[in-house]
């Protein structure tokens, strides 16, 4: 897979997420030991790390699903830890989550799955507008023909696309992708990587992509950071992150390309 052509439209004067000194422990197990992180407007930032290093904990804290023990977590100009539940709900509407399992409702058609967030959060919208937006996001993910299908009739890659369409429907400013290529074959993974880049360009989103798939990291990351032992040890362009004598980083790279 080709390396990412860095998005020329990144605005490095505007941070959509800014984290300083973030710490999080569960009982006496310190998962995040003082993490600093900035996400710039229009940027795709990949967070790499082995299983259990705290990548999911990080995005749960960003979205207010978990409380930090220490540190500042600023998202779209708001300090997440200080928000009321109502303010947090409003902030979350600006964040699109693409979950590992796509989180579709199996008993609803694709159209109904996409309609669901609009019915909940854009109650005043006319049916014609809803229909137009549903068709627009389906076209954006390349699945216009699936509108009346059930999720069970779709492949893993197609379900992932519908999951992404459902997050796009509320026009998020930030996208959080949790292991977007997990469980997908290599060709479908490449298609999802392309889609992540298309979403970035077309919807002008800023994204955090958490993954341990180096092909994905290389294909979608304008910048890559590596979470190791509770801190970001390396950051930069994909090639720079792995241009190191650090055995832990080299082991991660070699393991990924073992097969």
Ligand X SMILES: Nc1ncnc2c1ncn2[C@@H]1O[C@H](COP(=O)(O)OP(=O)(O)OP(=O)(O)O)[C@@H](O)[C@H]1O
Residues that bind ligand X (CB under 6 A): 26, 31, 49, 51-57
Q: How far is the CB of 50 from ligand X (least distance, A)?
A: 7
Q: Which is nearer to ligand X, 42 or 49 (CB)?
A: 49
Q: How far is the CB of 37 from ligand X (least distance, A)?
A: 14
* 31 contacts 56 by C-beta, under 8 angstroms: no
Q: Which is nearer to ligand X, 30 or 246 (CB)?
A: 30
Q: How far is the CB of 191 from ligand X (least distance, A)?
A: 22
Q: Which is nearer to ligand X, 67 or 144 (CB)?
A: 67
Q: Which is nearer to ligand X, 26 or 136 (CB)?
A: 26
Counting beta carbons within 10 angstroms of the beta carbon of residue 175, is it exposed (0 to 12), middle (13 to 18) or buried (19 or more)? Answer: buried
Strand 174-178 relative to strand 206-211, pairing? parallel
Q: Report in angstroms the alpha-carbon separations of 21 from 66, 76, 240.
A: 16, 18, 24
Q: Which is nearer to ligand X, 17 or 57 (CB)?
A: 57
* 66 contacts 23 by C-beta, under 8 angstroms: no
Q: How far is the CB of 176 from ligand X (least distance, A)?
A: 12
Q: How far is the CB of 41 from ligand X (least distance, A)?
A: 25
Q: Which is nearer to ligand X, 65 or 83 (CB)?
A: 65
Q: How far is the CB of 47 from ligand X (least distance, A)?
A: 9
Q: Which is nearer to ligand X, 54 or 151 (CB)?
A: 54
Q: How far apart are CA 220 and CA 34, in angstroms?
A: 26
Q: How far is the CB of 55 from ligand X (least distance, A)?
A: 4
């Amino acid at each position: 897979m080709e390396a990412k052509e860095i998005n020329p439209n990144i605005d490095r004067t505007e941070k959509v997420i800014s984290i300083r000194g973030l710490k999080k422990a569960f009982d006496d197990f310190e998962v995040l030991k003082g993490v600093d992180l900035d996400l710039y407007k229009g940027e795709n930032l990949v967070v790499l790390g082995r299983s259990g290093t705290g990548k999911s904990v990080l995005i749960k804290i960003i979205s207010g699903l978990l409380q930090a023990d220490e540190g500042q977590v600023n998202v779209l100009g708001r300090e997440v830890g200080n928000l009321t539940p109502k303010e947090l709900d409003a902030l979350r509407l600006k964040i699109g989550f693409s979950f590992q399992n796509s989180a579709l409702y199996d008993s609803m058609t694709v159209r109904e799955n996409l309609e669901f967030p609009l019915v909940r959060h854009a109650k005043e919208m006319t049916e014609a507008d809803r229909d137009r937006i549903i068709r627009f996001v389906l076209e954006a993910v390349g699945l216009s023909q699936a509108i009346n299908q059930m999720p069970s009739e779709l492949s893993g890659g197609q379900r992932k696309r519908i999951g992404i369409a459902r997050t796009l429907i509320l026009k998020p400013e930030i996208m959080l992708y949790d292991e977007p290529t997990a469980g997908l074959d290599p060709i479908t993974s490449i298609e999802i990587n392309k889609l992540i880049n298309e979403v970035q360009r077309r919807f002008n989103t800023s994204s955090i992509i958490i993954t341990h798939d180096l092909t994905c990291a290389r294909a979608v990351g304008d910048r890559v950071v590596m979470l190791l032992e509770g801190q970001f040890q390396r950051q930069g362009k994909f090639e720079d992150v792995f241009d190191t004598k650090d055995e832990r980083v080299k082991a991660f790279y070699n393991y990924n390309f073992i097969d």
